[in-house]
Amino acid sequence: MSGRMLTVVLAAVAVAIPAAATAASAAPPAPVQVQLGEAKCQDMSAVVASMPVLAPAFPDGARTPVVEYRITGAPDAPMTPYEVKVNGETKGSGSVGAKGLIISSTSLPNNTTTKFEVTSGEKVLASRTYTPAC
């Protein structure tokens, strides 16, 4: 009986070792998490009236689509740079570190299919396509 028991234990160890090696070699968790919100319509006409220099950024200030995003640093994350891009054009940038939280928003073109990305270097942290209609 003890010979059979030893064989079963060795077989179980042989199965467990590759699984443990795979788990150990799995990619580490991302240093930051990104959440992208829904496109919402905002009336920016009062802001444009008080700061006319913003008029080119808000062609129809009364109907401006805006997306909120949140970037959260992991508890042990190094400082991680990020860029917010709308159709490839950088709309914001910065960095977030351990336990950091960035909450911001950016406007989108109205009635246009738009690719929204948050990147860190060449790595895409989050991507979503919006077609807002305000």
Summarised one tens digit per residue, pLDDT across range 33-88 is 999 999 999 998 898 889 989 888 787 878 899 999 999 999 998 999 999 999 99
Domains and CATH numbers, the chain: 32-130 (2.60.40.2560)
The whole model's pTM is what? 0.71
Residue 45 token pair: 């006409």
Nearest to 88 by CA among 50, 117, 124, 53: 117
Burial level of 64, CB count in 10 A (0-12/13-18/19+)?
buried
Longest dimension (CA), the chain: 88
Three-class secondary structure of residue 35 per DSSP:
strand
Rounded to whole angstroms, the Cα distance separating 127 from 117 reads 4
Question: Is a pLDDT exceeding 50 seen at residue 19?
Answer: no
- Per DSSP, which regions of 9-122 are E strands? 32-42, 64-73, 80-86, 89-96, 101-107, 114-120
Q: How many CA atoms lie within 13 A of 50 on its CB side?
A: 3
Q: What is the pLDDT of residue 20?
A: 47
Q: What is the pLDDT of residue 11?
A: 37
